[in-house]
């Protein structure tokens, strides 16, 4: 299901870029290397570290509680509790994801305005699958302007 959504999103992004490029003769498209931005930005690294710490702490608390309660629960109740635990863990990550998105979107808007770009797209996109494993999707960019350094500078 998530893969379908990601595929549809990628197609819509490609379609939007195609419309922008075909509709304007002076359209300028920038692109960023997301992987580099994630590695080289101290602000992003701080948010990611804080999110990982909060997640690990909550995960430990929930795991300990589930281990204690498992003996006194039926299998069905345990499955419900485990599902609720996953929901609680997702809720821990949500504010950090929102903060990260806002920070990056603001910086990208500033770079786009400074460089007079019509749009900025991600050269590669990092996401996680339903098992929590990192996945990288490539977006082919030809003729765009690499603004990765500018974005990293904004996020110092």
- Walk me through the domains of the chain, giving residue ranges and CATH numbers: 2-154 (3.30.910.20)
pTM, 2 dp: 0.66
**φ, ψ at 134 (rounded to 5°):** -70, 140
pLDDT of residue 134: 65
pLDDT at residue 12 in the model: 59
Q: Which two tokens stand for residue 8?
A: 């549809």
- Per-10-residue mean pLDDT, the chain, length 156: 59 61 68 87 91 91 84 83 87 89 91 89 69 64 80 87
143 torsion bin: left (phi>0), alpha (psi -120 to 50), beta (else): left
């Amino acid at each position: 299901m998530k893969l379908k959504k990601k595929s549809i999103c990628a197609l819509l992004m490609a379609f939007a870029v195609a419309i922008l490029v075909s509709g304007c003769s002076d359209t300028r498209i920038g692109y960023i290397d997301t992987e580099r931005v994630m590695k080289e930005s101290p602000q992003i690294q701080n948010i990611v570290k804080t999110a990982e710490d909060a997640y690990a702490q909550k995960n430990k608390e929930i795991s300990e509680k589930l281990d204690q309660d498992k003996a006194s629960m039926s299998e069905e109740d345990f499955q419900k509790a485990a599902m609720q635990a996953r929901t609680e863990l997702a809720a821990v990550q949500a504010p950090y994801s929102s903060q990260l998105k806002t920070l990056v979107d603001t910086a990208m808007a500033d770079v786009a305005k400074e460089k007079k770009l019509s749009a900025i797209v991600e050269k590669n996109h990092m996401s996680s699958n339903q098992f929590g494993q990192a996945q990288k999707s490539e977006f082919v960019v030809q003729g765009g302007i690499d603004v990765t350094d500018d974005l990293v500078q904004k996020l110092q």
